[in-house]
Amino acid sequence: MTAPLIDPFARAITYLRVSVTDRCDFRCVYCMSENMTFLPKKDLLTLEELDRMCSTFIRLGVEKLRITGGEPLVRRDIMQFFHNMTRHLESGALKELTLTTNGSQLARFSDDLYAAGVRRVNVSLDTLDEKKFAEITRWGRLPQVLNGIDAAQKAGLRIKINAVALKGFNEDELPRITEWCAERDMDLTWIEVMPMGDIGNEDRLDQYWSLNDVRAEYEKNYTVTDLAERTGGPARYVRLEETGQKIGFITPLSHNFCESCNRVRLTCTGELFMCLGQEDMADLRAPLRDHPDTEEPLERAIRAAIEHKPKGHDFDYSRQKVDGQMTRHMSHTGG
Which residues are known binding-site members?
17, 24, 28, 30-31, 66, 70, 100, 124, 160, 194, 258, 261, 263-265, 275
Neighbour-count burial for 142-163, b at 16+ CB within 10 Å, e otherwise: beebbebbebbbebebebbbbb
Q: SS3 of 259, please?
A: helix
Residue 8, C-beta contacts closer than 8 angstroms, at least 6 positions apart = 307, 308, 309
Residue 271, C-beta contacts closer than 8 angstroms, at least 6 positions apart = 281, 282, 283, 284, 285
Annotated binding residues for GTP: 17, 66, 100, 160, 263-265
The answer to whether the beta carbons of residues 317 and 250 sit under 8 Å apart is no
Annotated binding residues for [4Fe-4S] cluster: 24, 28, 31, 258, 261, 275
The answer to whether the beta carbons of residues 326 and 277 sit under 8 Å apart is yes
Maximum separation of any 2 CA atoms in the chain, in Å: 60
Nearest Cα residue to 296 out of 287, 307, 305, 285: 287
Annotated binding residues for S-adenosyl-L-methionine: 30, 70, 124, 194
Q: Is 256 left (phi over 0), alpha (psi -120 to 50) or beta?
A: beta
Strand ranges for 53-151 from DSSP E = 64-68, 96-101, 120-124
Nearest Cα residue to 266 out of 66, 5, 41, 17: 17
What's the CA angle centered on 6, arms 298 and 192, to 5 degrees?
A: 95
What's the CA angle centered on 334, arms 332 and 335, to 5 degrees?
A: 115
